[in-house]
A and B are shown apart, each in its own frame.
Chain A
Amino acid sequence: MAATTVQRPRSRSPLRKHSVPYLHLAPALLAVVLTTVYPLVSALITSFRHWRLNETREAGEFVGLAQYQRVFTDDTFFNSALVTLNFTVISVVLSVGLGLCIALILNNRTRLSALTKALLILPFAVAPALKGFSWRFMLNPDTGVYDKMLDSVLPFADNINWLGDPFWALMVLALTEVWGWAPLIALMLLGGLNSISPEVREAARIDGANAWQQFWRVTFPLLRPLLLIVVFLKAVFSVKIFDQVVTTTGGGPGRATESLNFFAYSQGFTFLDIGYASAVSWVIVLVLGVLAALYLIAMARQEAK
């Protein structure tokens, strides 16, 4: 991160000096505190109390760490953690990989590429819940248009029930994400590719590097900071996957697509166990918080190099 200039022409006392930025920040910070810190604190307190909404309307007695113990002995929780991990890895790898391919293919000045670039933003704008419905419709094993296309191209696909098979159901879920994100990531990366001067690549080519070597030796290192951010962004959205789970698979088959967010939703909203759902939420917050911190530290190191 390049340093931004401190823009205070007249000198003043440190307190007075800092009060100005804090005043600017206050409204936004207040909104963020109100809408994220408040619920987190509230959920923390609830996580130590027994509270099932179908038993009592108000929160019940304090039960200490009992609900946290339950989280760590709950197989379905670990299942959803694993599902979320798999989903995140699959969708990040596919989105970024495909996004990179698209960016490299479109990184030229033909009219067709320009048109395609203009349209790349579209899938991201489609509501995730709707993406779920539309892919579910198109992959219906009897009548879906994608299913028919795939069946005619790939003979083995004929017997695949896309949303019925645990592996494919997760892939379809990932695909709904990839459809929205790969083009967007391509757009982000195209911005980065533009800033790589043609001379560099020309130099590499003249040096005898083939296209593959050119990519790995020149393009990739220059894109790396941008790629790190893109991976981070995609991961943030992926670990929170919820909408498409509801509209595409409902968590099935079995529990093969129950994500962490879906699991917490079931405990809180379907089973009305507010206390347990709060404990689950906090475990998720802590785990993701640690992961996010690690990643941010790694990113900062990368930049420092």
Chain B
Amino acid sequence: MTDTATKLAKHPAAIAAPVRRQRRRRGGWAIGRAFLRVLATLAILFFVLFPIFWMALTAFKPARDAFSTAVLFTPTLDNFLAIFGGASDLTGALVNSVLIAVATTIVSIPLALLAAYAFSRYRFPGHRGMLLAIVATQFIPGVAIALPFLTLFRSLGLIDTHLALVVVNLSLVVPYITWLLKGFVDGLPLEIEEAARLDGCTQVNLLWRVITPLAAPGIFVAAVFSFLLSWNEFLFPTFLARTEAETLPVALMTLVMPEGVAWGQMAAAGLLVMAPMLILALLVRKHFAEGMTMGAVK
């Protein structure tokens, strides 16, 4: 919002501001409005939280109550027992999801940070073009990426491996977090870098000792974003995983059985998919939304 000030100055309301009619519409109106605002806020809370609440509730319902809308029931752990080592075991998929998301994040963060630093601190031929091109890759439909990789990985014997999924996930993650990190690096003060350089700090040291710690909050947000994107990814594992590298969102389909959907187990598995992401999201909530738009606004 760098141009707020200029817009402000141009705005007629800001120029003509005679002080009059200052205290009208107080009293009854104000209370009514405050009341409406509280109601609206509660409605928002309901809208945001209810699906999560309902899934959590269903996860603890006995199978025969899964379809009932009762809020009071005898809670059971059956659904969790079923997906942890029981008939619908999902522990393998859980491990795969963690491994793939962690590996994707570890690989993509250094790449993106270097690129973000370059985009932020240098002007060079193709600067704008490359930045836009990186963003534009996100318009490519997933199938256009997954299909060629399906045939390529087949030749390499990499179908249904973690490596395959990490490689393809990079196509999703690197562009976004480059964009996101550029926003954070833009916001870092130049003075410290200049001082470091004057002290004879090499580029590697500068990046590692100065930029990385300064950008740490941004890197954390980027890591969370990267983890979240890989964790939630559905299309790539659908194409490229079978059993060994199957991730949780795809494994949810296991609970759609020929006999019908096991909704109680689905809800328990849903909690498993959801909970880590909810916690991570809460940790970075301050910067998360900003981060997504910052790269463009600045």
Q: Do chains A and B touch in the complex (CB under 8 A)?
A: yes
Q: Once the chains bind, are B11 and A200 in contact (CB under 8 Å)?
A: yes
Q: Once the chains bind, are B147 and A281 in contact (CB under 8 Å)?
A: yes
Q: Once the chains bind, are A145 and B69 in contact (CB under 8 Å)?
A: yes
**CA gap between A102 and B46 in the complex, in Å:** 12
Q: Once the chains bind, are B111 and A31 in contact (CB under 8 Å)?
A: yes
Interface of B is mostly: helix
- Which of B141, B175, B249 interacts with A281 by CB under 8 Å? B141
Other than A25-B115, A28-B174, give 17 A-B pairs with Cβ distance below 8 A: A2-B298, A4-B120, A6-B121, A7-B190, A18-B125, A28-B115, A28-B134, A31-B170, A122-B278, A125-B278, A125-B280, A127-B231, A183-B48, A203-B17, A206-B20, A264-B141, A269-B150
Q: A36 at interface (Cβ–Cβ under 8 A)?
A: yes
Q: B64 at interface (Cβ–Cβ under 8 A)?
A: no
Q: B202 at interface (Cβ–Cβ under 8 A)?
A: no
Q: B263 at interface (Cβ–Cβ under 8 A)?
A: yes
Q: A168 at interface (Cβ–Cβ under 8 A)?
A: no
20 A-B contacts (beta carbon < 8 Å): A6-B122, A25-B115, A31-B170, A34-B170, A42-B152, A105-B37, A105-B40, A106-B41, A108-B37, A135-B51, A143-B67, A188-B292, A200-B13, A206-B20, A218-B13, A261-B141, A261-B142, A264-B144, A288-B141, A292-B136
Q: A27 at interface (Cβ–Cβ under 8 A)?
A: yes
Q: Once the chains bind, are A236 and B138 in contact (CB under 8 Å)?
A: yes
Q: Which residues of A contact B114 (CB under 8 A)?
A: 24-25, 27-28
**CA gap between A106 and B40 in the complex, in Å:** 9
- The smallest C-beta distance from A159 to any residue of chain B, in angstroms, reads 19
**CA gap between A292 and B136 in the complex, in Å:** 7
Known: A119-B45, A121-B282, A277-B143. A1 touches B298 (CB 8 A): yes
Binds B, one of A60-68, A69-77, A89-97, A189-197: A189-197
Q: Once the chains bind, are A260 and B14 in contact (CB under 8 Å)?
A: no
Residues of B bordering A, CB below 8 Å: 1-4, 7-8, 11, 13-14, 16-22, 37-38, 40-42, 44-45, 47-49, 51-52, 54-55, 58, 67-69, 107-108, 110-112, 114-115, 117-125, 127, 130, 132, 134, 136-152, 167-168, 170-171, 174-175, 178, 186, 190, 193-194, 197, 203, 228, 231-232, 234-235, 238-239, 248-250, 252-253, 261, 263, 266-267, 270, 273-274, 277-278, 280-282, 284-285, 288-290, 292-293, 296-298
Known: A21-B122, A25-B115. A206 touches B18 (CB 8 A): yes
Known: A32-B171, A105-B37, A217-B13. A226 touches B147 (CB 8 A): no
Report the tally of A-B residue pairs with Cβ distances under 8 A: 336
Q: Once the chains bind, are B41 and A116 in contact (CB under 8 Å)?
A: yes
- Which of B21, B67, B108, B284 interacts with A208 by CB under 8 Å? B21
Top 4 nearest A-B pairs by Cβ distance?
A35-B171, A28-B115, A281-B144, A187-B289
- The smallest C-beta distance from B289 to any residue of chain A, in angstroms, reads 4
**CA gap between A293 and B48 in the complex, in Å:** 34
**Residue interface mask A243-277, B partner, CB < 8 A = 1:** 10011000000000000110011001100001001
